[in-house]
Amino acid sequence: MEICDPHHHLWEYPHSVYLIDDLKRDAAGLQVTKTVFVECGSAYRTAGPEAERPVGETEWVRRLAAEDGLVSAIVGFADLSLGAAVEPVLRAHVEAGDGMFRGIRHVNAWDGDDRIRPSHTNPPPDLMRQPAFADGFAALGRLGLSFDAWMYFPQLPELVDLVRAHPETPVILDHIGGPIGIGPYAGRRDDILAEWRASMSDLAACESIVLKLGGIGMPIFGMGWHRRDGGASADELVEAWGPEIRWLIETFGVDRCMFESNFPVDKASCSYRTLWDAFDLMTADASEGERQALFHDTAVRAYRLG
């Protein structure tokens, strides 16, 4: 099965390094032919206007991609709460990407409980309901760019409202909509999944949204696999998340769903091969065309990879 992995990170922090060669080692034995880099706050410019410093990440990934060819597209960061004033930053990303830049992820994952760690963007509550953010979101659509959304499941109604108000901006929702299971959500999985399903059904009615099926190895999802030597097996991933992922595929359709690795974040709980083996098992009853959409074609279309 040819794979387009539409969500992975590269970073070079003082305490951790994950580059294209690391990804290729993790993916060895699989036919991963295209990937999409998603922002993670690495290689920002250290000088110049503050709003444009994240363009350094796009420049850095573009250089890495030119040396290798595996990474086919870049999703960067810009502060959409700048409103319409974000347009020069978006244009700078497009120029720096040299044909690879596809859109912005402005993470708004936030929870009022102190046990939930703040996102790296340190968002305020109700970010998506701020008029300035909506203006920045609309600017993406005007420039032909897409928006990657990452939030926790209680925040999904904010996305529904935003997308209904601005259907011209394509949205790609990361990590199955964030049904987290730690802190105040630990031990309440049935209730959480019921609330999550209701919100995801509302989102499915918004035709401008496509969905990434993944993130299921993140410790914040509450399965505890990261505490075990060797992590989860493919069968355990299927048992825990197979019903939800199959429901999402049925609800959104294969043309609006794509599998993602979210590596190296999901590496905390399983290997790259184990994760894709689990996706393979989850869709064993699907047709060849449906599987091709889920593993490759939907991602290629959503990120305009040609």
* 78: pLDDT strictly greater than 90: yes
Q: What's residue 227's pLDDT?
A: 97
What mean pLDDT is reported for the chain?
Answer: 97
Q: What's residue 282's pLDDT?
A: 98
Percent of the chain topping pLDDT 70: 100
Whole-angstrom Cα distance, residue 155 to residue 143?
26
- Per-residue pLDDT, averaged over 238-254, amounts to 98
More confident residue, 173 or 69: 173
- Per-residue pLDDT, averaged over 213-230, amounts to 97
* 154: pLDDT strictly greater than 90: yes
Q: What's residue 118's pLDDT?
A: 86
* 168: pLDDT strictly greater than 90: yes
Strand, coil or helix: what is 150?
coil
Amino acid at 178: G
Q: Which domain holds residue 26?
A: 2-302
The total number of structural domains in the chain stands at 1
* 306: pLDDT strictly greater than 90: no
* 19: pLDDT strictly greater than 90: yes
Scanning the chain, the segments in alpha helix (DSSP H) are 20-26, 55-68, 87-97, 131-142, 156-165, 189-204, 234-252, 272-282, 288-292, 298-302
Strands 71-76 and 31-38: parallel
Does the model's pTM come out above 0.85?
Answer: yes
Name the nearest CA neighbour of 5 among 32, 23, 40. Answer: 32
Helices 272-282, 234-252: crossing angle, 10 deg rounding: 50
CATH classification at residue 147? 3.20.20.140
Strands 17-18 and 209-213: unpaired
Amino acid at 295: F
pLDDT tens per residue, range 102-147 = 999 999 999 999 999 989 999 999 999 999 999 999 999 999 999 9
Q: Which helix (H) or strand (E) holds 210?
A: strand 209-213
